[in-house]
Structure 1
Amino acid sequence: EIYNDQIRDLGKAYLAAMGVDISNPTTLNEKTSDIVEKLANKRGNSYFAPLFQRDRAVAASSAEIMPGLKEVYDGYNTMNYEIREDSEGNVFVKDLSLIPVTTMEEVMTVISMGLRVRATHETKMNQTSSRSHTIFTINVIQRDKLSGQAISGMLNLVDLAGSERLKKSESQGVRLKEALHINSSLTSLGKVIMALDPTNTDMPHIPYRESKLTRILQNSLGGNSYTTVLATIQPLPAYYDECLSTLQFANRCRNVHNIPKVNYIID
């Protein structure tokens, strides 16, 4: 069966946990690309496996939030895309390009190009600091040849820019505005997770619309999806506050339970 599946990565700290030198921009970019590609291959290979009496159509897309919502495929597209919701309550990005793909190699072309052109700039803490949240999506539609019944699903790979302590990064000007947006959207994400926690009775309203990030991830966070969160830390005294914040967030995520279902398409 095909379900929605979301994998979210919290910043670049996981690279340090893997023993990667995060001060080396070449190594950082290679490892980021390698991890995304492995996740896509592990989940995506089954999308192209031949099936008896079933047809499949697969498409891939990539976008970044910085703070506008932009497409990252064939260079930068300066258009700010709009977030919409269909009659079934599914959130989507209007007019975002869906690139038809027939092999994992074609999927990786879309992902690799997105990784190459995503916004990165140097700060005091990171030579290639991500200045946006990036979302790679693989969409699948499968139709039974005999009954005509169709089902749909998607795999989202979400690379979140890490939260930034301004005193340490010393960001100024444009970099400062980017950092404030990143921190604001991650704060909104934390609020949504807190509101979804069934043990928390103080927040009956779930603030999905507080940021573009949480709006796009609405189905992933508290809807029809299997969701995996990778929250890793750099266990050094200098990063105590960041480690504690990440672990507290991850602990709250454990309390959120989704109930995914097969997405039948009604003609």
Structure 2
Amino acid sequence: MQRAFVCLLEQTQRYRPGLVLSASYVEIHNEQVRDLLSPESPRPLPVRWSKTRGFYIENLLTVEFGSLETIMDLLQEGTRRRRSAAHALNGHSSRSHALLTIRICRKAMSPEPSSCQKGVLCFVDLAGSERVKDTGSAGERLVEASNINRSLLALGHCISLLVDPRRKRSHIPYRDSKLTRLLAESLGGSGITLMVACISPSSRCLPETLRTLRFAGRAKKVTTKPVAHRVTREKLLRSLEQEIQALREENLSLRQQLRLPRILGEGTATHTAPTQLPECQGESHAPGQRGALRRAPGSARRSLYGLLQEFVLENEQL
């Protein structure tokens, strides 16, 4: 992780000035998500889902950083607060899964949505599966082991379905655990996922070693297609024109209901200044605006955004 931090900071500072790096650090303990960077005592946070963001953690603290010392301090602080305990095989066993997420964002130079570029790098430390007969877990340790094994089983099930050639017809049960919900984008999204398998050279641990290697072997077969999500200029202009047309039609309908004079033209993107209601005075036109926008694509978005804001303002006034 430290080498990854060094590489990321060197790349952003040398070749990509103006990028903003931020980090969040959470753990999944007994199927509860806890913020490890929160200044208050960690409390369970809900995992939500939306069409635009997918699965996300609500009220999660994100801290900006710009140096290796800062991110390492955040990592050490979160690791110190992470749940750990001793059992028969390990004197310092992790009792939770941990996710350190680094978000890379280029600050937008304009309010346009296409000018914002983002990326995510997620480091996941999975707690190891446990055999209660070997660890001697009881009481609270037994509950923790059961939750760890259950979430790893759900993760393995999702991976098995993702490598199935018939997966297009299969439902991927990401909702079976908090871990699979938060890793849904990494496993079946548009990024790249790597897994590092930690195994033991001891012959005593041969069964666990084989299971771990089989687990990693299945994960290696998961194929994703890295995609840079960008809004093309043509698609953005088309969506703006459609939104302006819808607002124009709504404004005309409102004018008819209010019995105001019909001033906006049909079929052309006329430039309308904000009106003063109810007197409705002081409107102006710029006929032929649409053709001018197509001849000047560099300024088309700015013109359409200004026109859209004026229609929205007029709509609110009506």
Q: What is the TM-score of this pair, normalised by structure 1?
A: 0.78
Corresponding residue of 2:6? 41
Q: Pick closer, same or farther for the CA change 1:144–1:71 going to 2, 3 Å.
A: closer
Report deviation, 1:222.
1.1
Q: CA deviation at 1:75?
A: 6.2
1:84 pairs with 2:48: yes
Please tell me the root mean square deviation across aligned C-alpha atoms, in Å.
2.5
Q: Matched residues in 2 for 1:207 and 1:71: separation? A: 25
Q: Contact 1:48–1:103 (CA<8 Å) still a contact in 2? A: no
Q: Which residue of 1 aligns with 2:273?
A: none
Query: Secondary structure of the residue that 2:137 maps to in structure 1?
Result: coil
Look up the SS of the partner of 2:11 in the other structure: helix
Report whether the alignment pairs 1:242 with 2:212: no
The 5 A counterparts of 1:101-250 are 101-143=65-107, 145=109, 149-199=115-165, 204-250=170-216
Q: Alpha carbons of 1:117 and 1:76: their partners in 2 closer, same or farther (altered >3 Å)?
A: farther
Please give the secondary structure, in 2, of the residue aligned with 1:134: strand
Displacement of 1:198 after TM fit?
Answer: 3.3
Task: Quote how far apart the aligned CAs of 1:133 are.
Answer: 0.3
Matched, 1:57 2:20: yes
- Summarize the Cα distance change of 1:197–1:50 in structure 2 as closer, same or farther, 3 Å threshold: closer
Paired residue type of 1:135: L
Q: 1:97 to 1:253 in 2, by over 3 A?
A: same
Q: Which has the higher contact order (CA 8 A, sep 6+)?
A: 1
Q: Tell me the TM-score normalized by structure 2.
A: 0.66
Partners of 1:225 and 1:202 in 2: how far apart? 18
Higher strand residue share: 1
**Distance in 2 (alpha carbons) for counterparts of 1:76 and 1:159:** 23
CA-to-aligned-CA distance 1:30-52 (integer Å, 9 cap, x gap): xxxxxx32333333442344646
Structure (1/2) with the larger helix percentage: 2
Deviation, structure 1 residue 74? 4.8
Q: CA deviation at 1:101?
A: 1.6
1:137-173 deviations in Å (ceiling 9; x for gaps): 1111114648871111111111111001100100011
Cα distance between partner residues in 1 of 2:36 and 2:25: 6
Which of the pair has more CA radius of gyration? 2
Higher deviation after alignment, 141-150 or 155-164: 141-150
User: Deviation string for 1:167-208 (max 9, x for gaps)?
Assistant: 010001111100111011000110010010034669812111
Q: Residues 64 and 71 of structure 1 are in contact (CA less than 8 Å); yes or no, is this contact kept in structure 2? A: yes
- Alpha-carbon offset, residue 253 of structure 1: 1.3
Distance in 2 of aligned mates of 1:170 and 1:203 = 42
Task: Tell me how far 1:104 sits from its aligned partner.
Answer: 2.6
Whether the 8 Å contact between 2:34 and 2:45 is mirrored in structure 1 is yes
Q: Report percent identity of matched pairs.
A: 31
Structure 2 counterparts to residues 16-27 of structure 1, below 5 A: none
- 1:57 alignment partner AA: V
Q: Distance in 1 between matches of 2:52 and 2:13?
A: 27
Q: Which runs of 5+ in 1 are unaligned?
A: 1-35
What is the match of residue 100 of structure 1? 64
Give the aligned residue type for 2:23: A
Alignment check: 8 A CA contact 1:197 1:252 kept? yes
